[in-house]
Amino acid sequence: MPDTSSHRRKPSTVSIILLLLLIAAGAYIMIQHEKGRRSSADSREGSEQTDATVTPALPSGHDTTLADLGNRPDWSTLDLWQETITREDFLRLLTEVYTVDDTWKRYIEVYADHAIIRTDTRKQDMSYRLNFAHSLSDASPHRNWNAAGDLAPGTKEKPLAGVHIAIDPGHIGGEFAKTEGRWFQIGDNAPIKEGEMTLATGKLIKKKLIALGAKVYLVRGSNKPVNPRRPAFYRDAAVAKSRSLGKLDEETIQQFQNKFFYRTGEIRERARRVNLAFSPDLVLCLHYNAEAWDDPTNPTLTSNNHYHVLLHGALTREEIAHDDERFEMLVKILQQTHDEEKPIGMYVAHALGLTTGLPAYEYTSESTRAIRIPDVPGLWARNLLANRLYQCPVIFLEPYVMNNQDVHDRVQLGIYEGTKTIHGAEKKSIYHEYADAVVLALKEYYLAHRIIYQSEDD
């Protein structure tokens, strides 16, 4: 039997430079943190003054050329990928996967052997030149993760040996479930909290993947935020954002403060953990879908129930105009992440359809925010903060509609082994059904896409 544990992780300049980049981003966050602490101390002192009209000093303002809480990228990092992608692959990924219309042409000019990319939308003359690979044989993406084909051989019993997988249970749950809008309750039933359901599912998946040989990390292991900061820290950023929208009322400011805490800041913090601490080959972002339920204490129920799986892509014209989002998209294109992400996504979408028996969700034709990935139902590309920032293939799962009556009732039964009768049908616990679909997909994927040694008794 081969020793797969001695397999060396892909090294390298890429990880080191990405690491430096992220440390720089972290340093920036810490500086902002210090600033936040200072300004909250200032305003405490201010509140002891009698003059209530004193306005605390505001930051320089909301930078509309960056995504919320985004950092200005260091474009020289792209030097790693000089002459590593062909013009054909670059254009294929850019136009078929990552953008929804032609507005990318405002920022990227493609010539015979190079592209000129605008690096700062505020300045016309700031650009980066990327040279294409001369031929397919020259092309080889630098990656800080391993595709299945790059891994040392696995075995039939341990087809995931040496595969590093991070599981990201979506949202937070616990005392934060109401703030993050992922909570509802019907009568005296146990409340539905997405952040707790995703964690329960993640723990099951972790156990099952370890049994197949994978090294598995949970991005969070409890119903608490990974983000150490709280809404008050984001006060200045929320004021600046509200001001940029011309809606400087207290309600809007507080909405942004909360959102920057539980969503934007939380996901950016998880990205630091994923990219710096785990550096995985694959991330699974676990979610349960829902349709609008309006009043969480008297929720609207729906007869709809479905699944879908998201890959990264489909940047809108507003998103590609952000310098950091354009940069992050280019890193994905240059690492050719989609070419690994897509086949894994196909296995996962297929297994979810098979295991749950649910129909695939369809985005409406007017939706410019999603691109259909052909060949398998329920597989789409969308630009989400998590699947853009996590620097490896990311599979983002959205099975089940939580405010569907059947799903609600299955959640009430909790986690159990075997099956129980519900509405006249024998069903596994919803958590096991979800986990089994994911584990089946990954097992089949790695069996088919890496070298598998036969075991000794074959």
Q: Helices 430-449 and 338-356 sit at what angle, rounded to 10 degrees?
A: 140
Report the alpha-carbon distance of residue 346 to residue 405 in Å, rounded.
Answer: 28
* Positions in the binding site for Zn ion (CB under 5 A): 170, 287
CB of 303 to Zn ion, least distance (A): 21
For Zn ion, which is the closer residue by CB, 263 or 428?
263
Please identify the residue of the shown chain whose CB is closest to the bound Zn ion.
Answer: 287
CB of 458 to Zn ion, least distance (A): 43
For Zn ion, which is the closer residue by CB, 198 or 336?
198
For Zn ion, which is the closer residue by CB, 130 or 199?
199
DSSP states along 245-308: TT---HHHHHHHHHHIIIIIIHHHHHHHIIIIII--SEEEEE--B-----STTSPPPBS---B-
Dihedral sign from CA coordinates of 63, 64, 67, 69: positive
CB of 452 to Zn ion, least distance (A): 34
Which residues does 388 contact at the CB level (< 8 Å), separation at least 6?
A: 312, 325, 328, 329, 332
For Zn ion, which is the closer residue by CB, 159 or 170?
170
For Zn ion, which is the closer residue by CB, 180 or 281?
180
Report the alpha-carbon distance of residue 224 to residue 174 in Å, rounded.
Answer: 7
CB of 201 to Zn ion, least distance (A): 12
CB of 286 to Zn ion, least distance (A): 8
Report the alpha-carbon distance of residue 374 to residue 382 in Å, rounded.
Answer: 14
- Compute, in degrees rounded to 10, the torsion defined by CA atoms 157, 163, 164, 169: -60
Which residues does 198 contact at the CB level (< 8 Å), separation at least 6?
A: 169, 170, 171, 173, 286, 287, 288
Tally the residues of the chain: 458
Report the alpha-carbon distance of residue 22 to residue 227 in Å, rounded.
Answer: 15
Which residues does 357 contact at the CB level (< 8 Å), separation at least 6?
A: none
- Maximum alpha-carbon separation in the chain: 84
For Zn ion, which is the closer residue by CB, 253 or 284?
284
Report the alpha-carbon distance of residue 108 to residue 353 in Å, rounded.
Answer: 38
Structure tokens at 188: 């005296």
For Zn ion, which is the closer residue by CB, 133 or 274?
274
Which residues does 31 contact at the CB level (< 8 Å), separation at least 6?
A: none
CB of 289 to Zn ion, least distance (A): 7
Report the alpha-carbon distance of residue 276 to residue 16 in Å, rounded.
Answer: 10
CB of 386 to Zn ion, least distance (A): 10
For Zn ion, which is the closer residue by CB, 170 or 399?
170
CB of 274 to Zn ion, least distance (A): 17
CB of 411 to Zn ion, least distance (A): 14
For Zn ion, which is the closer residue by CB, 270 or 287?
287
For Zn ion, which is the closer residue by CB, 110 or 402?
402
CB of 171 to Zn ion, least distance (A): 6
Report the alpha-carbon distance of residue 143 to residue 358 in Å, rounded.
Answer: 36
